[in-house]
A and B are shown apart, each in its own frame.
Chain A
Amino acid sequence: MGTNALSRELKRGSTELLILALLEERDRHGYDLARSIGERSRGAISFHAASLYPTLYRLEAKDLVEGRWVEKPGQRRRRYYRLTAAGRRALASQRSIWEDFVGALNRVARIRHASP
């Protein structure tokens, strides 16, 4: 597998984790999520907003996030997303899976990385 293909797979699998983690901090709407991911990853993950909304809707269908329309004075209404209790549990679970995965990779392929 080429580097590009591998990175694609990794990025795709991590989308959910990214969104859940960002929502853990505070409620966000879709554009806010897309921009935050781009900023935090320092551009390494040029996040295609094309995959943002399908992922969000999937998470909503699985009841891990909850969306609601919010209308602030002077603004158009926007749809904000927040983490549900199930989402928190899923986030914790996915985090530990990632950590195990990276740890295993480390042990096998001796890849060093800085801890977050």
Chain B
Amino acid sequence: MDWQSRIRAVFATSAQVPDDDVVEELAEHARAMYEAMRADGLSHDAAQARLSEQLDLWRADSAALRRPSARLPAPDPPPAAVSSRLAGWAQDVRYGARVLRRQPHYTLLAGVTMALGIAATTQLFSVTYGVLLKPMPWPRSERLLALNETRGGRPPRFGSFSNAAYLAWRETATTVEDVAAWSERTVTLGEPGEPERIRITAASASLFAVLGLRPLIGSFFGEKDEVSAEGPVIVLSEGLWRGRFGGDPGVVGRLVQIDGQPHRVVAVLPDASSYPDRRTRAWVPFRVMPTTGNSLAMFGAIARLRPGATAEQAAAEATRCGRFAADTGMTTTAIFGARGPIEVRAVPLRDALTSDVRQPLVVLLAAVGLLLATATGNVASLQLARATTRRRELAIRAALGAGAGRLARQLVVESLLLGLLGGGSGLALAALLHRPLSSLLPADFPRLADLHVDAMVVLFAAGVSALTGLAFGVLPAWHARRLDLVESLAEDGTAPVGTTGRSPTARARMMIMGGQVALATLLLVAASLLGRSFAALLAADRGYDPAGVLTARLPLPASMYTPPRRQALLEAILDRLRTMPGVAAAGFTSEFPLTPGGSTGAFQIHPPQGEESAVTVQASPRIVSPGYFAALGLPIVAGRGFAESDTETSAPVAIVNRTFARRYLGASPLEARLPMALGHGGEGVEASVIGVVDDVRYVTGSESSLPEIYYSYRQLRGGLDAVVVSLLVRTAGEPGALAPVLRTAVRGEDRALAPDLVMTMEDRVTTSLARPRLYAVVLGGFAALALVVVAVGLLSVVSYTVAQRSRELAVRSALGARPADLVRLVVGQGLAVTGAGLGIGLVAALALSRSMGTLLYAVKPADALTYVGVTVTVASLAAAACAFPARRAARLDPWRALRSR
């Protein structure tokens, strides 16, 4: 006999049909009863009659024959006596932990969401704190100032302070204890060990006193050691000392070769105190010379305030003293682009070192805060949904005597536990990823070595975890206070027909969802703007063609090469390069075109028209080889380039760029007369302009192109003065593959010569854009994460409402609604929420993106394409997220939905 069919037939006419496994259990019971009665000797009919009585009793009580689908945690037995409040809290914690353990999927989902949000926030905070907030490593560093000089309101092309201003102020300063000068350069470190290019800082002896430094061993150089710019003493960094000298305590007095010149070690400086940063490997003395004739020396300058003095007072005093400095004529114009008295500004040192990353870091911190808020919203929404399904448990506890406050406390404790769980995981994740992520920062990022996961960061993570835990615990706790006991204790957990969407839980979840969509939209707009800006930077027309070019820097220090030797050497190297296979063009320049500024000169010319008086010109002179323009891919737009026939004995010639021609030479620049380059050998010699070349455009500087004059190195009778030149080689194939060819050509002419920074031009361009790329990538990552969080959240919320509304949808379907109508109902609700959030997000983005204006290139903050793209993306994502629950709603079997719980 098929007992299960018999049981089903019995319940066919009852109000509630038991589930399949209950039917199976009852069937086994009936079978066992029948077999026992038969074994006791009853006849088949008698046994069946008894059985029928039993079955009738079961059918009469069919409502009670339901096994609950989810197991609720057992309510606590009434506590005998809670001796102290602490025991109550401990109980809440234990209970909360048990609740979380019982629902591992939920705990995992919520925990991972929070962990990701908190990891991202903690990581960014550690960078922001380390760079912007952490005190600098020097004693009382808040008293340190960075000094900037301007003339006629214009900053200098290079350096920030002149020897004129420095000397004028230093002797009579009352607002500062002392002033120090410093400038960085790259040199070749020779014996002992392999030759290596290192960065050193040339500094006045006062640097150590101003910063309050103490040597690890030895003693710093004093003023007497500043005799010449290449003094024979040197202070090593701790890193260099340990690396090159094995931490030898007897290093003081040993000699090291710097650009071929021996220097005597006098001290070792601890790495933690390095100035300006840890990339400096050594310090050499540097004397600030008085201005002679019209020369001006430019360098960096810092000062330490006297107690009681302010930065403004110091700046005012320096400006006053500067009035008495000698006028340096055209040199001032060359460097500052204007003449006028010295004006000094003083800013706190930390601000000066970090000013260009401050705004981007703040923007990124705000963005990560939005991401965290989005993640918190998801978990809050999930907590709310769970609170609804736990109504019965809460009602039982309330019936057993727990007050509303106690229940709320329990929920808050659970949420705090979840928050701390997520936070702990997030902190661990951030600590794990700290080293690899920090290595993604560009090497010139300020205070890179100060970035650690230290006590402050841990404290921050703990605080944020607790705050977010409270944030997403508040709503369910508030909800618990408004519990209706009787309604909750009734078995039915689904919403009555017609009230969905108006229940407080569903409303709250919808509002949270809308907020999340708004935040994600904001992030996506910001990320898109930065991304498009970066793409524009990459594709910007720089005037030259960076593809297919290999570059290298060639140091030719004065201690090893004379000007005529340099000239001959470069001639030979270029000849070699031109004969090598794959080389289409080769050349060199004294100044590399990637950074604006560099050498600058000023002079007076009479414009070709002749009517006006002399015009003062500020331009950048460059010494190049004839093949330079071809190698760089810089087109000649008028006249001709340098030829082999332009030599020392032929007429001096010059080439200018478009900006120079337009600004100073009018419509017919050719045949204009300009001063010849220094090094030509003659006095007051003029060069004739033979050609105009296109502008090199600097995309990341404040001016897009500068006036430039080019001279051919062949025409310099005195030889080449530049101590560093840049080689360029153009090839039709892969430029990187030419690196060994280039090195061979160089070494073949001089074994001691070591080209460095051998990179393709495109790599240089990309490296110069390292920061914009970093910001775009980071913000893009945040936006992508936020979108994932929102999609998951939307899926969860819409599924929840479909489940809650299953009865209502079943009724509609039974009354004739088509699957398409149900889908439209479900998706429509999801899209309505998304639409509201999208609208708010776009408006907020429009308002806030103005503050990002300085970070953008060639893209306006209100760029229409970006906003349209973001709208389409978010709407599509929302539609996709609603698709699954909508499909489920469409496939609903109305009879099953109406019959089941």
A residues lining the B interface (CB < 8 Å): 29-31, 34-35, 48-51, 53-54, 57, 60-64, 67, 69, 76-79, 86, 89-90, 93
Question: How would you classify the secondary structure of chain B's contact residues: helix, strand, loop or mixed?
Answer: helix
Segment of B52-60, B434-442, B754-762 engaged in the interface with chain A: B52-60
Segment of B64-72, B261-269, B707-715 engaged in the interface with chain A: B64-72
> How far is it, in angstroms, between the C-alpha of A60 and the C-alpha of B74 when the chains are bound?
10
- Residues of B with C-beta under 8 A to A54: 61, 64-65
Chain B residue nearest to A67 in the complex (CB): B67
**When the two chains form their complex, are residues A86 and B61 in contact, meaning their CB atoms are under 8 A apart?**
no
For residue B77, CB closer than 8 A to chain A, the reply is: yes
Task: List 26 A-B residue pairs with CB atoms under 8 Å apart, sorted by A's residue number.
Answer: A29-B28, A30-B25, A30-B29, A31-B29, A35-B36, A48-B57, A49-B33, A50-B54, A50-B58, A50-B60, A53-B58, A54-B61, A54-B65, A57-B64, A57-B68, A60-B67, A61-B68, A61-B71, A62-B74, A63-B72, A63-B74, A77-B24, A78-B25, A78-B28, A79-B21, A93-B77
Contact A64 B74, CB 8 Å, known A31-B33, A57-B64: yes
CB 8 Å contact bits of B2-25 with A (1 = contact, 0 = none): 000000000000000000011011
**When the two chains form their complex, are residues A57 and B67 in contact, meaning their CB atoms are under 8 A apart?**
yes
> How far is it, in angstroms, between the C-alpha of A63 and the C-alpha of B71 when the chains are bound?
7
- Residues of A with C-beta under 8 A to B797: none
For residue B73, CB closer than 8 A to chain A, the reply is: yes
> How far is it, in angstroms, between the C-alpha of A51 and the C-alpha of B58 when the chains are bound?
8
Residue among A34, A61, A64 with the most chain B CB within 10 A?
A61
**When the two chains form their complex, are residues A34 and B29 in contact, meaning their CB atoms are under 8 A apart?**
yes
Given contact pairs A53-B65, A57-B64, a sample of 5 additional A-B residue pairs in the complex whose CB atoms are under 8 Å apart: A31-B28, A31-B33, A49-B29, A57-B67, A57-B68
Chain B residue nearest to A50 in the complex (CB): B57
- Residues of A with C-beta under 8 A to B22: 53
- Residues of A with C-beta under 8 A to B68: 57, 60-61
> How far is it, in angstroms, between the C-alpha of A75 and the C-alpha of B66 when the chains are bound?
25
- Residues of A with C-beta under 8 A to B65: 53-54, 57
For residue B32, CB closer than 8 A to chain A, the reply is: yes
> How far is it, in angstroms, between the C-alpha of A65 and the C-alpha of B58 when the chains are bound?
22
Instruction: Count A-B contacts at CB 8 Å.
Output: 65
For residue B180, CB closer than 8 A to chain A, the reply is: no
> How far is it, in angstroms, between the C-alpha of A74 and the C-alpha of B24 when the chains are bound?
17
* CB-CB nearest 6 A-B residue pairs: A54-B64, A50-B57, A31-B32, A63-B74, A61-B68, A86-B74
- Residues of A with C-beta under 8 A to B58: 49-50, 53
- Residues of B with C-beta under 8 A to A62: 72, 74-75
Chain A residue nearest to B78 in the complex (CB): A93
Q: How far is the CB of A31 from chain B (nearest CB, A)?
A: 4
For residue B370, CB closer than 8 A to chain A, the reply is: no
> How far is it, in angstroms, between the C-alpha of A109 and the C-alpha of B796 when the chains are bound?
61
> How far is it, in angstroms, between the C-alpha of A60 and the C-alpha of B67 when the chains are bound?
8
> How far is it, in angstroms, between the C-alpha of A54 and the C-alpha of B33 when the chains are bound?
18
Chain A residue nearest to B70 in the complex (CB): A61
Tell me which residues from 27 to 86 in chain B have a Cβ below 8 Å from any Cβ of chain A. Answer: 28-29, 32-33, 36, 54, 57-58, 60-61, 64-68, 71-75, 77
Size bin of chain B's contact surface = 20 to 34
B25's partner among A50, A51, A53, A64 (CB-CB below 8 A) is A53
Q: How far is the CB of B99 from chain A (nearest CB, A)?
A: 12
- Residues of B with C-beta under 8 A to A30: 25, 28-29
A63's partner among B32, B33, B73 (CB-CB below 8 A) is B73
- Residues of B with C-beta under 8 A to A64: 74
> How far is it, in angstroms, between the C-alpha of A50 and the C-alpha of B29 when the chains are bound?
11
- Residues of A with C-beta under 8 A to B61: 50-51, 54
Q: How far is the CB of B94 from chain A (nearest CB, A)?
A: 14
A79's partner among B25, B54, B66, B71 (CB-CB below 8 A) is B25
**When the two chains form their complex, are residues A89 and B25 in contact, meaning their CB atoms are under 8 A apart?**
no
- Residues of A with C-beta under 8 A to B630: none
> How far is it, in angstroms, between the C-alpha of A51 and the C-alpha of B57 when the chains are bound?
9
- Residues of A with C-beta under 8 A to B21: 69, 79
Q: How far is the CB of A35 from chain B (nearest CB, A)?
A: 7
> How far is it, in angstroms, between the C-alpha of A66 and the C-alpha of B74 when the chains are bound?
12
For residue B26, CB closer than 8 A to chain A, the reply is: yes
Tell me which residues from 175 to 194 in chain B have a Cβ below 8 Å from any Cβ of chain A. Answer: none
Q: How far is the CB of B23 from chain A (nearest CB, A)?
A: 11
> How far is it, in angstroms, between the C-alpha of A7 and the C-alpha of B75 when the chains are bound?
29
> How far is it, in angstroms, between the C-alpha of A54 and the C-alpha of B22 when the chains are bound?
11
Q: How far is the CB of B343 from chain A (nearest CB, A)?
A: 80
> How far is it, in angstroms, between the C-alpha of A78 and the C-alpha of B29 when the chains are bound?
9
> How far is it, in angstroms, between the C-alpha of A100 and the C-alpha of B72 when the chains are bound?
30
Chain A residue nearest to B76 in the complex (CB): A86
**When the two chains form their complex, are residues B54 and A49 in contact, meaning their CB atoms are under 8 A apart?**
yes
> How far is it, in angstroms, between the C-alpha of A57 and the C-alpha of B62 when the chains are bound?
13
- Residues of B with C-beta under 8 A to A63: 71-74
Chain B residue nearest to A49 in the complex (CB): B54
Chain B residue nearest to A87 in the complex (CB): B74
Chain B residue nearest to A32 in the complex (CB): B32
**When the two chains form their complex, are residues A61 and B72 in contact, meaning their CB atoms are under 8 A apart?**
yes
Chain B residue nearest to A35 in the complex (CB): B36
> How far is it, in angstroms, between the C-alpha of A21 and the C-alpha of B350 when the chains are bound?
76
> How far is it, in angstroms, between the C-alpha of A61 and the C-alpha of B71 when the chains are bound?
6
- Residues of A with C-beta under 8 A to B73: 63
- Residues of A with C-beta under 8 A to B66: 57
> How far is it, in angstroms, between the C-alpha of A49 and the C-alpha of B29 when the chains are bound?
9
Q: How far is the CB of A63 from chain B (nearest CB, A)?
A: 4
Chain B residue nearest to A86 in the complex (CB): B74
- Residues of B with C-beta under 8 A to A77: 24
- Residues of A with C-beta under 8 A to B75: 62
- Residues of B with C-beta under 8 A to A67: 67
Q: How far is the CB of B26 from chain A (nearest CB, A)?
A: 7
> How far is it, in angstroms, between the C-alpha of A36 and the C-alpha of B66 when the chains are bound?
23
- Residues of B with C-beta under 8 A to A90: 77
**When the two chains form their complex, are residues B28 and A76 in contact, meaning their CB atoms are under 8 A apart?**
yes
- Residues of A with C-beta under 8 A to B60: 50
Q: How far is the CB of A2 from chain B (nearest CB, A)?
A: 22
> How far is it, in angstroms, between the C-alpha of A64 and the C-alpha of B54 when the chains are bound?
26
> How far is it, in angstroms, between the C-alpha of A62 and the C-alpha of B587 when the chains are bound?
87
Chain A residue nearest to B28 in the complex (CB): A78
Chain A residue nearest to B392 in the complex (CB): A61
Chain A residue nearest to B65 in the complex (CB): A53
> How far is it, in angstroms, between the C-alpha of A66 and the C-alpha of B68 when the chains are bound?
12
CB 8 Å contact bits of B307-346 with A (1 = contact, 0 = none): 0000000000000000000000000000000000000000
Chain B residue nearest to A78 in the complex (CB): B28
- Residues of A with C-beta under 8 A to B67: 57, 60-61, 67
- Residues of B with C-beta under 8 A to A69: 21
Chain B residue nearest to A56 in the complex (CB): B67
Contact A89 B72, CB 8 Å, known A50-B57, A54-B61: no
- Residues of A with C-beta under 8 A to B72: 61-63
> How far is it, in angstroms, between the C-alpha of A76 and the C-alpha of B29 when the chains are bound?
12
- Residues of A with C-beta under 8 A to B26: 53
> How far is it, in angstroms, between the C-alpha of A90 and the C-alpha of B29 when the chains are bound?
27
Q: How far is the CB of A81 from chain B (nearest CB, A)?
A: 10
Chain B residue nearest to A69 in the complex (CB): B21
> How far is it, in angstroms, between the C-alpha of A94 and the C-alpha of B21 when the chains are bound?
30
Chain B residue nearest to A34 in the complex (CB): B29
> How far is it, in angstroms, between the C-alpha of A34 and the C-alpha of B22 when the chains are bound?
16
- Residues of B with C-beta under 8 A to A53: 22, 25-26, 58, 64-65
Residue among A35, A53, A62, A63 with the most chain B CB within 10 A?
A53
